[in-house]
Structure formats: structure tokens, C-alpha cells
Structure 1
């Protein structure tokens, strides 16, 4: 199944200037391979120090390409990464965390420059939207980075960053769920071998589509275990976010996100409006009972009950009752985003409903532009390109690819929808010491909070080993310093707790 990225609900796609984010490749495969090899940046090692989690850390940053091979030992790709490793006497006892973004087809610059790297740019969320022209925001030290407790390896999948296919392989061969997941799993095994880190405790995590990649990796090799997996804005079971005709689960699970957006934009009329968490909880209670019961009756629902449910939906979402009746109690997320603030002439963003944008039918007739993406993606990518060439001293003769412009093949499903969540359940069942961390934003219309709850609860995952956290943010909960600190504090606690439980056994 080959689907355009813009049509996929889990996609983390920059909707502006995509063509400028990738390099032109010569048409001849032989010439292309030669050009790629000659443009490869050499591996660079630089020395640094910083204070993280209240601890002074001296660390090494290693930026370079790692070759991976197929089952016959033939080279198939070179994967670019930036590894931050502390200078300690016994690195084998120190955890290492492998991280990546989503897209699919995005380099790791989002979480590296926005959240988890030792050097980041500090944005200020919707309140800080402003001039995004160059030069961008300055790099600052990130005292919340996890280097006090774990080494960090940021991975750019094939086709992104400086990563590329070699030999008989083409970049397109890796633009699918299965080969993308296996290639990153191979990179992790190779990195552990080359750096003599197999004794180290291991964590792996991704954001958005990167959570699908995480599921593929933890189940890629039954004899390679992880201490923990990290899912940021998970997008595992697409059956929870898609609404094909006749299927109502997505409507039920999106309703709490509608209430969150209504609460933020002062349109929520429910009984419990003290916080966005209160609004979501009230909406979840209604969605799980009355709303689900009404939708399950389909056309058999009588008019009086329909009107009663529509009146309650209007209170919970800020969308008028007659609009709910006219829509047969089913308003899709994109429609909701256009309706909520229609009287103000704006629509709310998909990846973070706190952001708004006006209509721009001249250049954006399909309304694909998302202000919450450009507000983060443009400054983060600008910062990453500058940081590589200055502080990390990477020399390259071709551009650093931020986001792929092409299509992706979704070659994994559960017979109906893409859903690799059971792979995490299988990995955690095989390994009783493995734990799971799940972070979700209330204002995320790509990976709604109720979808996360449903996915984790229906995938055979041992819930007693799961930490689920919720933030009053969107898809990228690190866009503001306050919530970035909360996210990293929760991740630090997750790793420390997991390691403590391991030591106690």
C-alpha cells in the first residue's frame, strides 16, 4: 500500500518549502552512488561539557555515518547519527538511549534541537510565534537533557540527514515500514558492536511515526532486548484515528481532543472546566458511554435521543447542536478544526490545536499548511544545519535532508489498519524487565490522547509496566520550556525507575 505522506494521519510533514529540504540526485544509479559516496561527511569527534540534571558531565559528540549490511554481508546503507557519550570509567554500565523522529521520512532534528539534545533552541509555543526568517533563535545549553543518566544517540533513517542507500540498494527501498524498521535495528546492533556497548542497558524511542519504528525495532530480533521503549505522541493503531464509512471508533476517541481544543479557545461549556485535564475527563466519560451507545445504533437511533446527544456534544465541543444533528453526530477532525473558530475566520492547527491560521486558498486550497509545524520545523532545521557545521564541525558537500518529499509504503497492517502495537506487547511479554513510557499532548489532533489509551490497552501490553503521561500541549510537547522540562523530568524518572527495578532483582 503506497500512500502520499500528506494523507497519513501519523505523518509529521513540513507543508512549506519541502523541495528545499532534500538534495537533487543524478538520474543514473551508478553516477548517483558515486556522488553520494564522494559527498559523505567524515566522522567527527568533538569534546564538550555541560551540566545536566544538576550533574556536571564531560562528554564526547560523535557525528558520522555507520554502514549496515544485508543478510549476505553486502553493504546496503550508511546511516548518519550524532552520539553523545559521557566520559566515564565503565561505559558498559551506563544506559544508552537511541532516539529518532517520525515523518515518516524525517531526520531527528526536531527532538535533538527542540528537546533532548545537550544544545537546543528554546521556543515559546503559541505565545512565542514570530519572525521565522534567518538567522533563527540562538542555541542554548539544555540543562534538562538526560546525559546525567544516559548516553544519547540520535539517528537519521535512510534518505534523511546524510543517510543514504549504497550498493544495489536505493533510498526508496527503505521507504516502507518493514525495511525502515529493520535498517534502524541493524544500525543499533552495529553501533553497540562498534562501540563495545552490548553490556549497557538499552532504551529506544521515537516521536509520531517514530513510535511505529520503535515497535518494529523492539520486535525485530527476539534475542535483542531493551530495558525500555519511549513513545512520544504515539501513532500505532490507525484504526483509532481513521473514519472510513461505517466505522465509529475514531469519532469516539477524538471527542476528548475536541473538548481540549474547545477548552483552550474558550468554547467549552461542560460542567468541569477547571483545567484541560478536567474537560478531557468529562468528555471521555460521555464518549465512552452515551456517545458510543448512540453511534452504535446507527440509523436506528431515534430523533429524541439524537437531539439529546447533540445538545451534550455542543456543550463539550463548542460546535452548535444543529451542526451535530446535520452531521449525524459525526464530525471528522479536519471538519472540526475548520468549524470551531469559523466565526473568527480562522481554523485551528492539527498537530497543536492551540495554534490558528487564516484561510489561504490561493496557495493552500487543500488547507494542508499547519502553523504548529512550521513554527517548530523551520527554526529547528535551520539550527540543526548550523550546529552540525559549527559546534560539531561536520563538513559535507551536500545538504542535510530534513524531510523526505516522497511517498511511503505502509506494508504492515493487522488485516484492516496499520497497527504494530502488538509487537510491543510481544517484546514486553518475552522480556519481563522491559518497561514502556508513553507521552501524549491534549491538543494533538494527529495522535489524540484517547487513542493512546486505547492502543496501549488493546495490544497485549502489560499495563503494570507502563508509564502514561499527559501534557497541556500538542504533538510536540517540548515547544515551551515549561512542558519540555516536564517531559524530560518524566523521562528521567522513567529511566531511573526502570534501572532501579532492574538492580533490585
Structure 2
């Protein structure tokens, strides 16, 4: 089994590039629909403007056999990290094959694989791209990884990969879409702008589990606590701690309104908030998240996700997840290591990642692609070496990116394109409140604001781990792709 979370070898140790592999398939839908398509796994060489080989990019393409593709979109998809490959968004949710999940149960090590009834292949050809240093993609020998392991360098390399694929397939006259998850939404925002600057029109961008402004990750940032609160409220309802008898979507909406109308103002005042007002806010918070008022007051209304995860199911000897707060596992014990170890643990990731990786590898090898000894589902070296500086349009270089500016700029330049944000009520990694807040601060005029679409579901960070949410989102995405036909 390939190590899914590890550090890649130095570029000099890579051997020759594996040969391209192809295979013919037929997808069978639940209503009797079929799609004949070809799968291709290949390494694509990417060059900089001076002609120097930058990296060998792994692309897994699923292309329909339709003779007339003039109106059939092609979508370029990736996960995040940074340092994460594209395997999970492929085998989990949007590719033609899927590992079915069972609610919040931990998957067995050997699982069935099914034709994915929710695949985007129904509306678009698909190209899953591993970012440089992830999956099978790697930086070319002699090329400095620092040039591509960063917000701008990564966006540049991925834009070049999209263009290289379009060139190879002669697909310039087709509708083009981008699909990013997690940090992949940050990447998609940058690529969206860069492609436009390089003469490539993007018809639509799908942002799943979005993070745009990374300042929210800085200690003490008010927006961090504001974004986490509705997630905690949704989780408390799921665990029977609050909100019983209320529709989950309505309950989440009430929590969002509380944050906007009361909570954000209270925590902004900090120590200047009168004691009686602080207690009144704490009582309202307790109503939503089911924790004692005094416990909330002891934290001055600011509840860190890690504390919440450790305490909300403590009476049952359990801790909950970060990617999806509904998942639980046996509580961390101090003897098992220091707090940082617990913070990095996540039952919602443990429940699926090993199985996803093994099934993905099996599918690639059945296709005939040999790959390398290890597939880096999450390369920690890339994550730790990441350059967070970003040349923000109209702003200049910033040490912490806010790619909402990239989206606003790209949308202004390309006002016929559309973007949709998919958010999950149980996502503790990229809370939905934050992306709504970040886009609101762009003050888009009505004509552009109408091009921005929203969809909220029951899922956590990984839409594909929640079958009900995946089913709920499928018609939404189909309708989103149809928007290209409107004026």
C-alpha cells in the first residue's frame, strides 16, 4: 500500500517518466443511462517561458466518445493541502468510479467500487491534475521546487498544465471549467485569473469547501471564531445537544444570523464588552451549541475548534472530527502524546483516506499505468515548504493570500462566466460563513454578483464522504453547468 501522508524524495531520485496508459470504459447510470468514454493516465511535461522543464504533471483524464464535443465542457479538478493530490475528489465524488460510504462509519479496508451515480462525467469531460510534488507529479530534475511550491508558482504551473492539455487535445473551442476543493479553491481562484490573462476563457468555477482569505488562520482573528460557530451549532444539533425539532438548514441559518447580528459585534468589543452583555451572549451561544454558559464565559466567548472537538462528546469518551465534525473516535489520552498530535488527528479523514488511496491505485494499474513506487496523497514536505506570499491584483505582494481579489478581478474581466460555492454545515476546516463574508467584502456590482452562486449541504469538508449531500448537490451542479447557455 502506498503511503498516503509522507515526504517525497528529492527530485534527483525520480527515474524515467512512466508511459501513457489508456482504457475504454462504459459508465452505467442508475436510470439506464450509459456513457462510453476513454480514461487516460499520463505525465505531461510543463515548461516555463524560457523553455526550461519545470515539472512532470500527472493528469488522469476521462473523455467521452462523443464525436461532437463543441458544446461538451472539460473540467479541470484538484484537491488542496497544499500538498494534496487530486485522488480524493476523483475516487470520492466527481470521477466515474466511487467508493460508497456509510454515513459516519469507518470504511472497511476492502470496499466495493461502483459506477458513480453522481459523477460530473454526465455533464463534462474530466481532467484530474496532481499539483507539483503531489501524487505522481514532481518537479523536474535541476528545477528549484521553491518556484512552484507556493501560491503564485503553483498557480502558474497548474495554469500551464491546463493549457498543455488543451493544446494536446485540440480543445480550445470547448467550454472550460475549474473545480477546486479546500486549498484547491485558493488555487482555482488564482488559475481563474491567470488563465484569463493568458487568453483562456473560463466558463465556470466550482469552489467546494472554500478558503479565500488566510488571515482567518492567524491567532486571535475574530473571523475565525465567527466562522466556527455555525459549524458547532450544526454539530450540536446532530449530536442531540441543541436545536431538536428544527430543520437542520433552518437551524444553521439561525446560527449564521446570530453570528452576523450579535456574536461578531460582541467578540469585536473584547474586554470592552460589559459583563452582563457577555453573559447574555454566552446564554445565547449555549442555546446553539449546547455547552454550559460558564464554560463559554471562561473562554470569553471565543471557542477554539480543537477545544470544541475535545469537549462536545467528552462524556461519551469520544472526540469529533475537523473535516467533518459528525465523525467521532475514541478520545485522545495525554499519555498518547502532546496536544499538537491530537490537533492533527481527524476521524473523518481516517475513515476514508486509506481505502480511497488503495482503490485509486488499483484503478490506475488496471488502466495499465505503472506510476512510481509511492503515490503522495498528501506530501508534508510541500505543505511545510509552501510560500504563502501572493501577488494580489490591485494590491501587490502580501504575506498572507486573500484570493477573493483574484476572483473579483477575473469575474470583472470575464462577466459571462459563473462561479458557485459549495459549503457544508459540518465543515470545521473551511467554514461556510467565512467565504460568504469574504465575497461580501468584494462589493461586487449587481451584474457580477448575479454570477456568484451558493449551495449549502449537510456535508463536512469532503462532500463525497456524505452520500446524501452528494446526491443533493448533483442536480445543482448540472444546473450550474447549464448556465453557460444563458445570456
TM-score, normalized by length of structure 1? Answer: 0.88
Query: Which residue of 61, 68, 73 corresponds with 2:46?
Result: 68
8 Å contact 1:52–1:148 — kept in the other structure?
A: no
Shift in alpha-carbon separation, 1:261–1:457, aligned structure 2, 3 A: same
Query: Match of 1:242?
Result: 217
- Displacement of 1:167: 4.2
> Higher mean Cα deviation, 357-366 or 62-71?
357-366
Q: Is 2:260 the partner of 1:275?
A: no
| Equivalent-residue separation in structure 2 for 1:364 and 1:403 (angstroms) | 22
Query: Match of 1:117?
Result: 95
Query: Match of 1:500?
Result: 485
- Displacement of 1:277: 1.5
Query: Match of 1:451?
Result: 434
| Equivalent-residue separation in structure 2 for 1:276 and 1:463 (angstroms) | 27
| Equivalent-residue separation in structure 2 for 1:21 and 1:298 (angstroms) | 39
- Displacement of 1:73: 1.3
| Equivalent-residue separation in structure 2 for 1:148 and 1:303 (angstroms) | 57
- Encode CA deviations 1:67-120: one digit per residue, 9 max, x unaligned: 110111121111011111111222243210000111111111101111111111
8 Å contact 2:210–2:432 — kept in the other structure?
A: no
Query: Match of 2:22?
Result: 45
**Tell me, which stretches of 5 or more residues in structure 2 are unaligned?**
393-397
| Equivalent-residue separation in structure 2 for 1:265 and 1:22 (angstroms) | 34
TM-score, normalized by length of structure 2? Answer: 0.91
Q: Is 2:453 the partner of 1:476?
A: no
| Equivalent-residue separation in structure 2 for 1:274 and 1:82 (angstroms) | 43
- Encode CA deviations 1:336-364: one digit per residue, 9 max, x unaligned: 22222222222211110101121143445
Query: Match of 1:151?
Result: 125
8 Å contact 1:120–1:141 — kept in the other structure?
A: yes
8 Å contact 2:226–2:263 — kept in the other structure?
A: yes
Query: Match of 2:298?
Result: 326
8 Å contact 1:18–1:405 — kept in the other structure?
A: no
SS in 2 for 1:352: coil
Query: Match of 1:12?
Result: none
- Displacement of 1:124: 1.6
| Equivalent-residue separation in structure 2 for 1:219 and 1:376 (angstroms) | 33
- Displacement of 1:289: 1.8
- Displacement of 1:469: 0.7
| Equivalent-residue separation in structure 2 for 1:186 and 1:460 (angstroms) | 31
- Displacement of 1:290: 2.2
Q: Map residues 49-128 of structure 1 onto 2, 5 A cutoff.
A: 49-52=26-29, 54=31, 55-126=33-104, 128=105
8 Å contact 1:94–1:200 — kept in the other structure?
A: yes
Shift in alpha-carbon separation, 1:20–1:99, aligned structure 2, 3 A: closer
Q: CA RMSD in A?
A: 2.1
Q: Is 2:371 the partner of 1:396?
A: yes
Query: Match of 1:227?
Result: 203
Shift in alpha-carbon separation, 1:243–1:163, aligned structure 2, 3 A: closer
Query: Match of 1:11?
Result: none
Query: Match of 2:380?
Result: 405
SS in 2 for 1:48: strand
**Tell me, which stretches of 5 or more residues in structure 1 are unaligned?**
1-16, 27-31
| Equivalent-residue separation in structure 1 for 2:135 and 2:172 (angstroms) | 26
SS in 2 for 1:469: strand
Q: Is 2:353 the partner of 1:353?
A: no
- Displacement of 1:178: 1.0
Query: Match of 1:210?
Result: 184
> Higher mean Cα deviation, 45-54 or 469-478?
45-54
Q: Is 2:9 the partner of 1:25?
A: yes
Query: Which residue of 407, 431, 443 corresponds with 2:414?
Result: 431
